[in-house]
Structure 1
Amino acid sequence: MVGNLISPALASMLMAAVGPWPPFLLSVILILLSAAIIFLVPESLKHETQDGVPDDSKFKSSLKKSLGELKKSASAFASLSMIIVLLITMLQLSLVLSTYQFLSQFASKRYHIPIADTGYIQSTYGVGFIVISFFIMPWITSALVYPGTPALLRFEDDKRRDLFLARASYIASMIGTFILGLSGSIPGFIFGLVILAFGVSSEGYLKSIATLYVTTEQRTRLFTILGLSSIASDLWLSPALAALFSLGMQYGGTWIGLPYFGISVICVVMFCASLFIKVPSYSRVDEESDE
C-alpha cells in the first residue's frame, strides 16, 4: 500500500530528471532483489523421505494424494454462493487495472499531459485510499454494528455487515469509474478516483465472506484459488480494456472514456451477482470449534 503511494510520484520525479530508462532499470533491480529475499525465508515444512519404496508405489501414492487435494479444493466451492464469489473474483481485477496499469496511458492521452506527470495523479489516489482505509472505513464498519445506529443501517453481526459493505463498494466503484470516464478535466478525474477509493476494499470483504464457507485448514487453498482466478482474468480483461480504449480514441469526445464506462458496467454485474450471495448462519470455523 505504501509502495503504491510513493512509487508513482517518485517515478514521475525520476522521469522528469533523468528520463524513462533509469526508473525502469531501478524497478527491475528492486523486483529481482525482492525475489532474492524470498529465498532467505526459512522453510517450515520438512519433507519426509520414504526409503525402500518402489518408484511405481511412489507415483501411485503421489497421484492419489494429488487427486485427494484436488477433491478437497473443489469441495470449497460446493455452494452457489462460493461459485458466485469465484465469478466476482474474475471481474475484480478490472478495478486494479483502472487505477494503476491503465491509468497513466489514459490520463496522458485524454488530458494531453506527459506520462511522467501521471504519477502525481496516481499518488493522489494513493493518499485518498490510505485515508479512507485507515480512518473512514474503520469508523463506518464500527458504526454499522453499534447498538445506537438506526435499525436500517445496523447489522447484528460482522458477517452481514461485510456483505453489505461489499455490495456498497461495488456501487461506489460503479459511480467512481463512471465519473472517470465522463470527466473532461483533471480535478474531476481525481474526484472520481476518490469515490473509487471507497470501493476498492470490496475484495477484502468478499474474502471475509468466503472464509465462512470453509474450515481453517482450507483457507490457504481458498485464497490460492481466488488468487489464481484473479490472475487468469487478466488474459481477457487487459485486451478488452485495450480494445475499448482504441475504440474510444477513434470516436473521440466523451467516448474517450469508454474503457471506464466498460468497467462501470462490470461493477454493475458484480453488484447484481453479490445480491445472490447468502451468508451462512453458522460458519465452518464455528463448527470446528464446537467439535
Structure 2
Amino acid sequence: MMGGDEPHRRDSDEITITETAPLLTNERPSWPSHRQRLSITSITSVHVPKIHNGRTIVNLLCIIILISSSSTGLIGIPETRLLEDAACRQYYGLDGSISGPIDEKDCKGDAIQNKVAFTLAIQSSADAAAGFLAAFPWGLAADRIGRKPVVALALAGSLLGIVWAMTVVYFHNVFPVELIWLGSLGNFLGGGSAVIAGIVLSMIADSTTEEERAIAFMRVHVASLCGNLGAPALSSVLMARAGPWPPIWIAFAVIALSGIAFLFVPETLKHQPGQEHGHEPEIVEDEEEETTDLTSRVSHVVTQFKESLSMFKSTSLVLLLITCLGSPPVLYATLQFMAQFLSKRYGIELYKTGYIQSTYGAAQVVQALIILPWVTRYVMKSTTPKRIRAPDEHHRDLSLARWSYTLLAVGIFIVGLAPTLPGFVFGLMLMALGSGFNSLTRSLMSLYVDPEHRSRLFSLVAMAEVVGSVYAQPFLAALFALGMKLGGGWIGLPYFGLSILISAVATLLLFVKVPKEARNSAPTHENGCDEE
C-alpha cells in the first residue's frame, strides 16, 4: 500500500482558490493520500482515482466558483450602504420618522463611519473564527458522507448568515446593528467558505492528472478572482438604478444557484476504491472507521500537528511562514473596507466604488495570466541581461517575491497618500503588479521540506492565514478611526500602517536563502518549471 501511495504524496494543497493561490511551483502537485489534516484548505483531502472526465469537472467547478464568489462582490457595497444608513438613523435619532434613505452625504461623519468600520471589522473576525472552528469537523464529515452534502450545508449556512444580517439591518429601528455579528454562527453549519474551498480543491485533485492539475488550480483561482472583484461593477450599476436591495437579492439567488449547480458535479468520493485490500471500496473502510472513537482521531490529528512543528528547523522557512500573516490585511484592504474608505475620503457615493474595485480586479487578472508568466520566462532566458537574469528558478522566485512585496508596499503607500482619485487608482495598479507575492512565497516554502511533508506544511500556512483574517479588518478599522480623528491627510493612516507592515515582511525576505539542496537540483527541474 505504501508503495502505491507514494506518488500521490505531493504538494497540491499549496494551491488555493483565493488571491493567494501559488502560480509558480517546482513540483507538479497531486493530492496527498493522508485523510486527516489539521487544515482549512486540505482538511477534506483524500485520494480518489480519476474516474470522471477531469476537464468536465474542472469546467463545472470553475463556473460554480465564478458564480458563488460573485455573491461576495454583489453584497459587499450594498451591505455597507445599508449599515451606514442604519447607523446614521440611530445617530440622528431618526428611526421611524423618515421612510426613505437618508442622504448619503449626511452619513459621512466620523462617529458614524467609526461605527460602520468596527461593526464590519468584528463581523469579519467572527466569520473567520467561526469558520476555523467548524472546518475540522465538517472536513471529516465531507470525507465520510461525501463532498456534495457538506457543500450544500455550507452554502445554506452562508445564506442563513446573510439573511440574518440583512434582517437586522432592515429592522434597525428594533435591533441594534451590532446583532449582525450573530450571523457568523451560520458558518457552523457546513463550515462556510473555508470548507467549500477545501472540498473544491479535493474534487479537482481527484479528477485531474498531475500534468493537468497546476493549470486547473490556476483556472479556478482566476475564476474566484473574477467573481470577487468583477461583481462590484454590476452591484454599482444595480445600486445606481434600483438602490441597495436588488444586488442583495441577486446575491441570495446566486448562492442558491451555486448549490443547485453543484448537484451536476459528480461525487468523486463515491468512486473511491480502497488501497489497503486492493478490491474493497474505501467507502467500506469509512464504515468500519465509524466505530473508531472520535476523541482518538482528534488526538491523532493533534499529535500530527505537534510533529509538523518539527519541520521548522530552517530559519528561512519560519520567515516565510510569518509572511502569511501579512496577506489577509492586503485582501481586506481592497474589498469592503476600500469601498467605505473611498466614499469617505473622496466624497463619492458608495455605489460608484464598485467600478474602482472591478478595475483593480481586472488588473490582477492581467498580472496573473500575462505579466507574471512573461516575467518568469524572461528572467530565465539566456539572452536576458546578466544583471537581471536569474541563475535558476528558485532564485528567480525569491527575487520576484522581494520585488512583488516592494511594489505592493509602494502601491499601498501611494493609495493612502493620494489626495485625488486618479492617484489612488495609480496606487492600485502598482498593488496589482505586486499581487503575486503570496504565490511566490508559497512556491519557495515547498523547497524546505520533503514532498511527503508538504501537506502538513501548507496546513500550518492555512492556519496562519486564518489568524491573519481575524486581526486584519479590526487593524484597518482602528487605524481608520485614528486617521479620521487626526484629520487631513492622516485619513490614509490605514494604508500607511499596512504599507509599513508589508515593508516589514519584505525586509524578512532579505534574510531568506534558497536551500543548498534546491540550488543543486534546480537545473534538473528547470524545464518542468518552464512548462508550468
TM range (shorter): 0.7 to 0.9
1:114-125 aligned within 5 A: 114-125=349-360
1:14-33 aligned within 5 A: 14-33=238-257
Question: Runs of 4+ in structure 1 displaced over 6 angstroms?
Answer: none
- 1:67/1:131 CA distance change after superposition, 3 Å: closer
Aligned counterpart for 2:403 among listed residues 139, 146, 168: 168
**Deviation at residue 230 of structure 1 after TM alignment:** 1.0
- 1:153/1:244 CA distance change after superposition, 3 Å: same
**Deviation at residue 37 of structure 1 after TM alignment:** 5.4
Q: Which residue of 1 aligns with 2:496?
A: 261
**Counterpart of 1:99 in 2: which secondary structure?**
coil
**Deviation at residue 232 of structure 1 after TM alignment:** 1.6
In structure 2, C-alpha distance between the alignment counterparts of 1:62 and 1:108, rounded to whole Å: 50
- 1:16/1:60 CA distance change after superposition, 3 Å: closer
Q: Which residue of 2 aligns with 1:237?
A: 472
**Deviation at residue 237 of structure 1 after TM alignment:** 1.9
Q: Which residue of 1 aligns with 2:431?
A: 196
- 1:228/1:21 CA distance change after superposition, 3 Å: farther
**Deviation at residue 50 of structure 1 after TM alignment:** 7.8
TM-score (norm. length: structure 1):
0.88
Q: Is the 8 A contact 1:144 1:153 kept in 2?
A: yes
- 1:237/1:58 CA distance change after superposition, 3 Å: closer
Aligned counterpart for 2:305 among listed residues 51, 70, 75: 70
Aligned counterpart for 2:318 among listed residues 72, 79, 83: 83
| TM-align CA RMSD | 2.7
Q: Which residue of 1 aligns with 2:339?
A: 104
1:246-269: per-residue Cα shift (whole Å, max 9, x none)? 111122211111100011101111
In structure 2, C-alpha distance between the alignment counterparts of 1:261 and 1:31, rounded to whole Å: 36
Structure 2 residue 268 is matched with structure 1 residue 42: yes
Task: State which drifts further: 31-40 or 74-83.
Answer: 31-40
- 1:254/1:126 CA distance change after superposition, 3 Å: same
**Deviation at residue 103 of structure 1 after TM alignment:** 0.8
**Counterpart of 1:152 in 2: which secondary structure?**
coil
**Deviation at residue 281 of structure 1 after TM alignment:** 2.3
In structure 1, C-alpha distance between the alignment counterparts of 2:509 and 2:397, rounded to whole Å: 12
Structure 2 residue 422 is matched with structure 1 residue 158: no
**Deviation at residue 4 of structure 1 after TM alignment:** 3.1
In structure 2, C-alpha distance between the alignment counterparts of 1:3 and 1:60, rounded to whole Å: 39
Task: State which drifts further: 181-190 or 40-49.
Answer: 40-49
Q: Which residue of 1 aligns with 2:455?
A: 220
Structure 2 residue 497 is matched with structure 1 residue 273: no
**Deviation at residue 123 of structure 1 after TM alignment:** 1.2
Q: Is the 8 A contact 1:88 1:270 kept in 2?
A: yes
Structure 1 letter corresponding to 2:268: P
Q: Is the 8 A contact 1:172 1:196 kept in 2?
A: yes
In structure 2, C-alpha distance between the alignment counterparts of 1:10 and 1:211, rounded to whole Å: 39
**Counterpart of 1:102 in 2: which secondary structure?**
helix
- 1:186/1:64 CA distance change after superposition, 3 Å: closer
- 1:231/1:68 CA distance change after superposition, 3 Å: closer
Task: State which drifts further: 141-150 or 201-210.
Answer: 141-150
Structure 1 letter corresponding to 2:384: T
Matched-pair identity in %: 39
1:77-107: per-residue Cα shift (whole Å, max 9, x none)? 3322221122110111121112112110000
Give structure 1 stretches of 5+ with no counterpart.
Answer: none
**Deviation at residue 272 of structure 1 after TM alignment:** 0.8
In structure 1, C-alpha distance between the alignment counterparts of 2:234 and 2:287, rounded to whole Å: 53
Structure 1 letter corresponding to 2:458: F
1:185-241: per-residue Cα shift (whole Å, max 9, x none)? 111111100011111110000110011122333333333321221122122221111
Q: Is the 8 A contact 1:95 1:200 kept in 2?
A: no
Structure 2 residue 231 is matched with structure 1 residue 7: yes
Task: State which drifts further: 274-283 or 240-249.
Answer: 274-283
The number of aligned residues is: 285
